[in-house]
Amino acid sequence: MEGRTQLLSDRLVELVLNDDTWTEPHVDVLTVHPEMTYTEAYELQFEHMRRRVIDGDRIVGYKAAATSTGARAVLETDMPLPIVGTLLASNLACEGTQYTIKPGITFLEGEIAVLLGKDLSGPHINELDAARAIDAVCPAIEIAPWSPSTLAKQRSDQHAIATQKTDGLVVIGTPRPFELVSDLRFEGVTMTVDGRITGSGTGIEAMGNPLTVIATIARRLSEYGLGLEAGMVIMTGSIPKPLDLPADARSARAMFTTLGNIGVRFTSAPQNGHGDDN
């Protein structure tokens, strides 16, 4: 039985390592392991990411998805929320980066990101612990593409967990010392696309407090023997409702109350393919 379990695990890891939901037909993890639980999906994510590190990538932090009412409405899922995902160096970008819009829907999210100055781990981490661990705060945008197979609900919740985050980009702006931000709950952001205002909100939309998000990520990771480490980037979730980006969009900007502004540029994918991220 142990040998069969290992074979199943290896097959699943290879599946998510080579995952591309723009390739048809989409092969979901449930086709290999129909009884997969959410716990097993997280175990697969973390083993999958460990393999990516072995192959030359680097884990730079973690993210939370569906931390706001607006984001949860987009997902329409019964999986335990928020969803925790691993951030890889290959998915990290800086101000002014250019992204090629793929077929399907591309969601744009304005978020507060934090840089940790201390390790943060354990099952009892709270908001005060999170505040003490933060070194700096950054304006951030997450670009989250959904493929046609995802939109057609051909991708299971377990597959989504196991591949968090291997598509799109996380764009991080200039860090500001944490002590210069009076209260993350009231840090505001206004999103624009091609100069047009598309949404706004404050940090309180992220589970009532971005510090709550950070503490929740730390507690979730502790269930798998993992923790947040000094130097890591933590994305605390979309503040305005995730924006369905127009296919002809050329630029977007997130303008924060005290954290400054951050922008990204877009190009359209070729008609015969989904293009590459830059």
Q: How confident is the model at residue 277 (pLDDT cuts 50, 70, 90)?
A: very low
What the block records as the tokens of 57 is 């990538």
Which residue has tokens 């706001």? 68
Which residue has tokens 């939109």? 151
At 270 the pLDDT is 65
Three-state secondary structure call for residue 119: coil
Which residue has tokens 């943060």? 120
At 271 the pLDDT is 56
**Distance between the two ends of the chain, CA-based, in angstroms?**
44
Provide mean pLDDT across the span 57-83: 92
At 3 the pLDDT is 46
CA contacts within 13 A on the Cβ side of 243? 26
At 4 the pLDDT is 46
Three-state secondary structure call for residue 5: helix
Q: Is the per-residue pLDDT at 1 higher than 60?
A: no
Strands 169-172 and 105-116 come out as unpaired
Strands (E), 66-195: 83-88, 92-94, 98-101, 105-116, 134-146, 169-172, 176-177, 188-193
Instruction: Of 22, 21, 47, 258, give the one whose Cα is nearest residue 159.
Output: 21
Which helix (H) or strand (E) segment holds residue 118: the answer is: none
Per the CB < 8 A criterion, the answer to whether 115 and 231 are in contact is yes
Percent of the chain with pLDDT over 90: 82
247 versus 221: which is more confidently predicted? 221
Q: How confident is the model at residue 77 (pLDDT cuts 50, 70, 90)?
A: confident
CB count in 10 Å sphere of residue 274: 19
Q: Is the per-residue pLDDT at 100 higher than 90?
A: yes
| CATH homologous superfamily of 2-268 | Fumarylacetoacetase-like, C-terminal domain (3.90.850.10)
Taking the mean position of all CA atoms in its chain, how far away is CA 273?
Answer: 24
At 5 the pLDDT is 56
User: Alpha helix locations (H) across 148-275?
Assistant: 148-151, 157-162, 210-222
* Burial class for 5, CB neighbours closer than 10 Å (0-12, 13-18, 19+): exposed
Q: Is the per-residue pLDDT at 162 higher than 60?
A: yes
